[in-house]
Structure 1
Amino acid sequence: MSLPRVLITGVDGLIGKYTVRLLSSFFPVLAVSRRMQVAVATGNEVSHAHTDLLDSEEVGKLRDFRADVIVHLAASIPSSFEDEQVAMTNQSIDANIFNLAKESGASVIFCSSVSVYENRQGPWSESMTLAPCSIYARSKLDSEKLFSTLESGALSIRIASPYGVVEPIRKGVLFHFLREAVAGRALTLHGEGLRTQDFIHARDIANAILKIVRFWNKDTGLAKRGVLNIASGAPVSMIELAQLVLKVTNSSSPLHFVGGEEGGDDYRSAISIEQSAHLIDWKPEITLLDGVTHLLKSFEGKNEDWFIVGRAR
C-alpha cells in the first residue's frame, strides 16, 4: 500500500506547525504557506510551496503535487466574530481549496470550529441541529457544507480552543494569565470567573489529523464524510485556569475580579468527544497541567524540544 501524499495549508499557524512536524514523519508532505520558507524545523524532508491561497491560479498549480489528502488549516483569525471582511476572505480561500480538491480528486480534512454550536445547550455533539448567529461561526458552517459536497470526500473537525508553544501571536486568556503571573501582577477576571473554556493542545489536534489520514489510508471504513469534535472534553472555568497558572508558576499574584457582564459567567463549554474516540480511536494525551507547564518552560527558554509535551512524544 503506497503512502498518501498530504498537502497541508496554514503551516505557519499554530496547528499547522504541529501538524507538519507530525505528519512529515510518516507521509510525503507539501507544506503550503504565504511565506517563502516554512518556519518549523521538522527533522524531516518537507516540500514547500509559497502560495497565496486567495489567488485561484496559484492554488491551481498545487495540483502538480498530486495530493491524496488536503489538510486545510489556513484561515485568517478575526479580532471579532462579527468581522465580515475576514469571513469573506476565509470563504474565498475555502472555495479555492474546494476547487483544488475537486480537480485533483483529493479528500479534505477541514479545520472548523466549535463556535458553530453557538446558542446550543451542551453537551455539544456532532449530530446537533445548528443555528450559529455570529458571522464567523456561520461562515465556518457554510464551508463545512461546501466541503461535504466533494465527491472525493471531506471530514470537518470542529476544534475547541487550541494552544501550544509555537503560537505565532501569543494572545488570549491563557497567555495573558501566564505573563501576568510570571511578572507578579494581578490576574484580572471579568464577572465572577465562572465562564468555562475547553483548551486543547495543538499537538493533540495534529495527532487526530494523523489518525484520520491513517484510517483513510488503511481503508478501515472511516467515512470521508461528516464532522468530528476535537477537544479536551475537560472544560475549566476562568477562575480554575487562573489558579492552575498560579500553581504552575509558583506565583503569589492576586486574583482581581472586576465584575461586569463581559465575563460571560453563564457560558458553558461542554463538548462531546465520544464520536472521535469511537471512530478514529482518538483521545487527548496532553493534560492542561502538562500543557501549561510546557508553556512556562517555553517562556523561560528551557524547552529542549517544543514538540515534546509531557508523555506525548
Structure 2
Amino acid sequence: MDTPAIRDRTILVTGGAGFIGSHLVDALTPQNEVRVLDDFTTGDRTHLSDDATVIEGDIRDPIALQRAARGVDLIFHHAALVSVAQSVDEPRQSNRTNLEASLLVLEQARQEDARVVVASSAAVYGHPDELPVSETAGIEPTSPYGVQKGALDRYTRLYEELYGLPTVALRYFNVYGPRQRGPYSGVISTFIEQARADKPITIEGDGQQSRDFVHVRDVVRANLRAATTDAVGEAYNIGTGTRTAIADLAETIRDATGSTSPVVHREPRVGDIRHSGADVSKASRELGFDARIGLESGIRSLVGASEPAGQDAGTVREPHSEPESHS
C-alpha cells in the first residue's frame, strides 16, 4: 500500500531533532506546519528542515510543552532518555523524562484534542518466551527503561479508552539508518564505523544472538500510517519480521564496506536478551504496514551515504531488543 498523505495539519514532533524524529520532520514539512520541541541534548539542529518551527525546550517543562503544542492537530512523541544503561544507573531521572513528561504530553494532547502517536519499544517484552513476539505477549521488561516504556505504552492506550483521545503506540524493534550516531548509537552504525576505520568489529558474546533490524524510513512510514488509521487505542510491533544473527550482520557490513577488519568477540553482557524478533502481522493487517527495505540494501545505502554512520568506534554496547537511539 502507498503511504497515506498528511496535508494541511499543525503537527508537533517532540524530540524532532533526534534520529527518528528528524526523519519524520523531513516527511511532514513539505505539506504541513511542523513544530519541533527539543532540548538538543542529543538532537542535532543541522538535521532539521528550515521549514520547521523549532522550540528549544525540555519536554519536562510544562510551559515549553504548552507553547509547542498550542493548536496542534497531531503529536508524534519521540522525546526520551534512550540509554538503557543510564536508566539502570539513574532510574528516577529516566522516569521523569520517559514517563512523567510523557504524561504531560498526553494531558496536553487531551486539552488540544490532538491525536498522539507514541514511540514505544520492544523493550517492554523483556526476554520473550516465544518468537516472533506478538503484541499479546507478556509485558516483562528487564530495565527501568523498559518499565517506563511499558507504562507509557499502556497510558497511551488508556487515554483512548477513558477519554476518547485517538492514540497509537508503536513498539519499535532495532531501528537503524542515517543520522544514528553518538554514545547510544545502534549496533549497525557502530559496526560500520569500526569497519570503515579498519578497527576490529567487536561483538559481545558468540554473535548468535539475533535481532529484527528495521530501517528508519520504514519506521517513518509506520508513523504516518498510525497518524491516519481508524484502529486507535492499540499498540503495534514495528519491525520486519526477520531476525538476523549479529555475527551475520558483522559479515554483511564487512562485505558492504570492503573492510578487512577482523571480527572479535568479548564476554557476553550479563542479562542480555538472546533473541528478539517481531510478529508484524497486526501492523500489516490493521495499519497496512509492511517493511520495504531489506537489511542488506539498507546497509549498502547507509555505507554509500556521505555522512558517517556514527562517531564512536569503541566496543559495541548493543544489541538490546530496543533501539538505543530512537528519538
Please state whether the residue corresponding to 1:92 is helix, strand or coil: helix
Two-structure CA RMSD over aligned residues (Å): 2.6
Asked if 2 retains the 8 angstrom alpha-carbon contact of 1:192 and 1:265, the reply is no
Distance, in Å, in 2 between the alignment partners of 1:2 and 1:120 is 39
Please state whether the residue corresponding to 2:146 is helix, strand or coil: helix
1:48 to partner: Cα distance: 2.6
CA distance 1:251–1:154, change in 2 (3 Å)? same
The aligned residue for residue 116 of structure 1 is 124
Q: Is it true that 1:280 corresponds to 2:287 in the alignment?
A: yes
Please state whether the residue corresponding to 2:119 is helix, strand or coil: strand
1:266 to partner: Cα distance: 7.1
The aligned residue for residue 88 of structure 2 is 82
Please state whether the residue corresponding to 2:47 is helix, strand or coil: coil
Please state whether the residue corresponding to 1:145 is helix, strand or coil: helix
The aligned residue for residue 144 of structure 1 is 153
Please state whether the residue corresponding to 1:24 is helix, strand or coil: helix
The aligned residue for residue 159 of structure 1 is 172
1:239 to partner: Cα distance: 0.6
Q: 1:254 aligns with which of 262, 267, 271?
A: 262
Please report the TM-score for the alignment, with normalisation by the length of structure 2.
0.81
Q: Is it true that 1:291 corresponds to 2:298 in the alignment?
A: yes
1:47 to partner: Cα distance: 2.5
Q: Is it true that 1:59 corresponds to 2:65 in the alignment?
A: yes
The aligned residue for residue 6 of structure 1 is 11
The aligned residue for residue 99 of structure 2 is 91
CA distance 1:209–1:29, change in 2 (3 Å)? same
Distance, in Å, in 1 between the alignment partners of 2:213 and 2:11 is 27
What is the one-letter code of the residue matched to 1:120? Answer: P
CA deviations on 1:232-281 (whole Å, 9 max, x unpaired) are 222211110011011101122222234x3438787111211111111121
1:292 to partner: Cα distance: 1.4
CA distance 1:256–1:290, change in 2 (3 Å)? same
What is the one-letter code of the residue matched to 1:136? Answer: Y
The aligned residue for residue 190 of structure 1 is 204
CA distance 1:97–1:182, change in 2 (3 Å)? same
What is the one-letter code of the residue matched to 1:60? Answer: Q
CA distance 1:53–1:209, change in 2 (3 Å)? same
Instruction: Tell me whether 239-248 or 47-56 shows the greater mean CA deviation.
Output: 47-56
Asked if 2 retains the 8 angstrom alpha-carbon contact of 1:37 and 1:50, the reply is no
Bigger-Rg structure (1/2): 1
The aligned residue for residue 311 of structure 1 is none
In structure 2, the gaps of 5 or more residues are 1-5, 309-327
Distance, in Å, in 1 between the alignment partners of 2:116 and 2:18 is 18
Asked if 2 retains the 8 angstrom alpha-carbon contact of 1:195 and 1:265, the reply is no
Please state whether the residue corresponding to 1:61 is helix, strand or coil: helix
Matched pairs, number:
293
What is the one-letter code of the residue matched to 2:81? Answer: S
Please state whether the residue corresponding to 1:262 is helix, strand or coil: coil
What is the one-letter code of the residue matched to 2:228? Answer: R
Please state whether the residue corresponding to 2:12 is helix, strand or coil: strand
Asked if 2 retains the 8 angstrom alpha-carbon contact of 1:197 and 1:268, the reply is yes
The aligned residue for residue 317 of structure 2 is none
CA deviations on 1:77-108 (whole Å, 9 max, x unpaired) are 22515240223322122021012112111111
CA distance 1:224–1:237, change in 2 (3 Å)? same
